[in-house]
């Protein structure tokens, strides 16, 4: 899928996320928006074939999401800042306010760990693997 086809395929989902995050005609609940985008990214990365992608196409989707987030939330917004938010106290409160299930919160925090500290995440996963052996 080309970047243009990817944009065409994901535009309805991204518009839905924006609509669901609106609190007034021109105002976005930034916290809720970031939860939705983090959820989208996590689910696609876990199973890209479910949405018709290959793993090789994930970088293009990553770029598309970063561009879209910057246009909605402002310069500097992107998946990294989104997962930094998820991993913060404010993000923790936002996830509670959004009534996310424990499994959903754990999924987002797991991805935050991978994105924000890939080396630490790798060591942690090795420890978990070693302790279960």
> What pTM does this model have?
0.87
Contact by Cβ (8 Å): 113, 120: yes
Residue 34 has pLDDT above 70, yes or no: yes
- pLDDT category at 122 given cuts 50, 70, 90 is low
Q: What tokens were used for 71? A: 């246009």
10, 13, 15, 20: CA torsion to nearest 10: -160
The Cα angle at residue 25 between residues 21 and 28, in degrees rounded to 5: 30
Q: What is the pLDDT of residue 114?
A: 86
CA distance 124 to 133: 14
Tally of structural domains, the chain: 1
CA distance 92 to 100: 10
Q: Where in the sequence is the domain holding 99, given as residue range(s)?
A: 3-132
**Whole-number mean pLDDT of the chain?**
90
């Amino acid at each position: 899928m080309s970047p243009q086809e990817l944009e065409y395929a994901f535009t309805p989902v991204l518009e839905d996320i924006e609509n669901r995050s609106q609190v007034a005609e021109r105002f976005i609940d930034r916290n809720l928006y970031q939860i939705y985008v983090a959820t989208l990214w996590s689910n696609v990365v876990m199973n890209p074939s479910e949405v018709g992608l290959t793993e090789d196409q994930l970088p293009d989707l990553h770029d598309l999401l970063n561009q879209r987030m910057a246009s909605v939330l402002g310069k500097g917004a992107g998946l990294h800042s989104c997962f930094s938010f998820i991993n913060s106290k404010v993000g923790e409160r936002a996830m509670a306010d959004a009534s996310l299930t424990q499994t959903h919160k754990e999924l987002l925090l797991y991805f935050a760990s991978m994105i924000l500290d890939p080396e630490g995440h790798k060591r942690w996963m090795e420890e978990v693997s070693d302790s279960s052996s």
